[in-house]
Amino acid sequence: MPAEGNPGTFVRRNEVLPQDFAPVTSRINQQQPVEATTPLWDNQSIRPPGDSSTEVPEFCGPSSSEHTLNVVSGNLKAMGIPGAILEKPTPRMGSALGSSSRLTQYGPLMKLLNMDPLWDVKKQDAFHLIDDWCYHVGSLFRLVTRSETLKVASNVFEVLENAQRDGPFYKGGRVLEVLFNDDTNKMKLVLAIERTLESGGRNDQAQRLFQSITEAVESIMWHPNGIHDIQLLILVALYHYHLDDEVRTGRFSGFAARLCLEMGLHRREIVEKTFPNPEERSVALRTFWSVYMLERRTSLDLGIPFYIQDSYVHPSLFELDESDSILSILLQWTKLAGKTWNALNSQGERGAELKLDDLDYINYQILHWYDQLPNNLKLSQNRAERQIQYENLAYHQAILVVRKHHLLNLIFRPVLQSFSRINQNQRYAQTAITIVKESIQTPSEFREHTAIIDKHALFFKHLLLTAFGNLLLAVVNASSLFWDSVRNEFDTALHLVKVLSAKSSPMMRLWSRLQGLRELQTKLLHASNACVSNNESGDFRFKNCSHLFQTWDR
């Protein structure tokens, strides 16, 4: 008998009879055309080049933190301070998909014979992971319900336990039936995401769970088949998101967005006609909103355009299901994220003058959005009251305040992009610095009083980078104006990244890039002294050193 806790050892290759699988594999082959089981790389024109993989250019728009780090790094190099921020590793074609795409050369039977990863998952662990998903990330993206997913898990593990007990006498077709269907694939991705969150980065079991569904995902490229496929794509996108792979997150969420538009999920009359059943309509809408929110969020992080424009979506769709208050709040934020993207990226592309009226209006809308939240979903402005709130901090409280700070930092970023803009708009620059300080202090307080930031380090990474990027723009472009007032926040931000690097591999990579900034003050002082010594007027505000500050206006 095998040791307890290793159920996979009960099923051996020489114990599985082909006739046990024949009825199910026949149905699977009928549902999936032959082309769907062919690896995407069979087309020579898109085959990964293997060991000689080529570099892929990656565009980062002005709303992306990467763009800001590149600007700051360029400014520092111009000041004679190279290497303070290391370059981001260049992505290579096929580097992450090579192993998973090889799995698609095997059919469902061979996959089962090579042991599906669910054999190595304990039932109670799966239930715990599903619960954690539904109360956290899954509460933001309502792709699957807790009751349905637990039901799927119960069914799957009951069948696996029976197969484990009966060995070769158990019908293999039943195993195939529960392992290879849409609901099980979605459950696998939920488990993979939660395992990734637990480990703070790549996890062997999570990768195996993900790889076991790659064939189903690749088949969607050629034969998309409704809401279940869109849900699967967004779960794949969320898996990559929690690996800090923003590019692949954007690709999968963008593909899902395109499928939503093709199905007409953005038009009320089509939704009501296609889904006359209220329950099915609710599932379709919540799937669409998950795509809408994740695609917008990813586009904001990357600074690239998004498919689903607000003008495409029928306004009454937002009012079809108002029973979920969190969803309504997140949809409002997503609209504001779209306005922020348009304002920031259009200015960055055109090099236009600041439109302060637009900035004021978006700033008002963001603050109004947050102020209108129920008291149990927002943090108090009073520090003493916040200390009490931290004792029972709700997940959504943390998420919503972070999203407020994220947008505020983005809309004020153009004010800090050059010394001339800072000098011409000092009131706005001071507001930007106030926002930066609050944005860095918030996760610092979270970590001091709660455990939320340790588990969701990657989520807070985006806020930290956005705020820290603005801080760097301020101190590099106008060190004499801001350094004294932001030094504590500078040290706090770097300390947070360093501490979280021990808990999250993406944060470790970020720390490797940023740790050279620890001596930034000394280097800036040395550079400014050199500049002043060459300045006949001795003006410490770098009037004649504008060549040092090369920014987005170029």
Q: Write down which residue in 323, 352, 381 finishes a domain.
A: 352
Q: What is the DSSP string of 455-509?
A: HTHHHHHHHHHHHHHHHHHHHHH-HHHHHHHHHHHHHHHHHHHHHHTTT-HHHHH
Do 190 and 315 share a domain, yes or no? Answer: no
| Residue 503: per-residue pLDDT | 78
Are 473 and 68 contacting, i.e. CB atoms less than 8 angstroms apart? Answer: yes
Q: How remote is the C-alpha of 78 from its chain's centroid?
A: 33
Q: What is the DSSP string of 280-319?
A: HHHHHHHHHHHHHHHHHHHHHHHT---S--GGGS-GGGGG
| Residue 399: per-residue pLDDT | 95
Do 344 and 467 share a domain, yes or no? Answer: no
Q: How far is it, in rounded angstroms, from Cα 309 to Cα 334? A: 11
Do 418 and 534 share a domain, yes or no? Answer: yes
Q: How far is it, in rounded angstroms, from Cα 262 to Cα 458? A: 32
Residue type for position 56: V
Q: How far is it, in rounded angstroms, from Cα 487 to Cα 44? A: 54
Q: 């190099």: which residue's tokens? A: 77
Do 106 and 84 share a domain, yes or no? Answer: no
Do 429 and 552 share a domain, yes or no? Answer: yes
Do 198 and 302 share a domain, yes or no? Answer: no
Q: Which residues contact 225 (CB under 8 A, 6 or more apart)?
A: none
pLDDT single digits (tens) 333-351: 999 999 999 988 765 544 5
| Residue 502: per-residue pLDDT | 81
Domain count, the chain: 3
Do 337 and 415 share a domain, yes or no? Answer: no
Q: Write down which residue in 284, 319, 352 finishes a domain.
A: 352
β-sheet bridge partners, residue 414: none
Q: Is residue 197 part of a domain?
A: yes
Q: Is residue 270 part of a domain?
A: yes
Are 453 and 393 contacting, i.e. CB atoms less than 8 angstroms apart? Answer: no
Residue type for position 435: I
| Residue 139: per-residue pLDDT | 94
Q: Is residue 200 part of a domain?
A: yes
Q: How far is it, in rounded angstroms, from Cα 219 to Cα 216? A: 5
Q: Is residue 441 part of a domain?
A: yes
Q: Write down which residue in 352, 379, 399 finishes a domain.
A: 352
Q: Angle 124-4-190 (CA atoms, 0-180°, nearest 5)? A: 30
| Residue 411: per-residue pLDDT | 95
Do 506 and 543 share a domain, yes or no? Answer: yes
Do 380 and 451 share a domain, yes or no? Answer: yes
Domain limits at 145? 97-223
Torsion angle, alpha carbons of 335, 456, 439, 494, to 10: -140
Q: Is residue 396 part of a domain?
A: yes
pLDDT single digits (tens) 20-70: 444 444 444 444 443 333 333 334 333 333 334 444 455 566 666 676 777
Q: How far is it, in rounded angstroms, from Cα 31 to Cα 71? A: 51
Cα 360 to Cα 180, 343, 356, 484, distances in angstroms: 53, 12, 6, 27
What count of Cα atoms within 13 Å lies in the side-chain half-sphere of residue 127? 8
| Residue 470 phi, psi dihedral angles, 5° rounding | -65, -40
Q: Is residue 357 part of a domain?
A: no
Q: How far is it, in rounded angstroms, from Cα 508 to Cα 514? A: 10
Do 330 and 405 share a domain, yes or no? Answer: no
Q: Is residue 29 part of a domain?
A: no
Do 266 and 333 share a domain, yes or no? Answer: yes
Q: Tens-digit pLDDT profile for the chain (554 aa)?
A: 434 333 333 333 334 444 444 444 444 444 444 333 333 333 433 333 333 444 445 556 666 667 677 777 777 677 666 666 666 665 443 333 333 333 344 455 544 544 789 999 999 999 999 999 999 999 999 999 999 999 999 999 999 888 888 765 566 678 888 888 899 999 999 999 999 999 888 889 999 999 999 999 999 988 888 999 999 999 999 999 999 899 999 999 999 999 999 999 999 999 999 999 999 999 999 999 999 999 999 999 888 999 999 999 999 998 877 778 999 999 999 999 999 999 887 655 445 677 899 999 999 999 999 999 999 999 988 878 888 888 888 899 999 999 999 999 999 999 998 899 999 999 999 999 999 999 999 999 998 888 888 888 888 888 888 999 999 999 889 888 888 899 999 899 989 888 888 877 778 888 888 887 877 766 666 655 555 455 444 443 433 333 333 333 33
Do 203 and 137 share a domain, yes or no? Answer: yes
Q: Is residue 32 part of a domain?
A: no
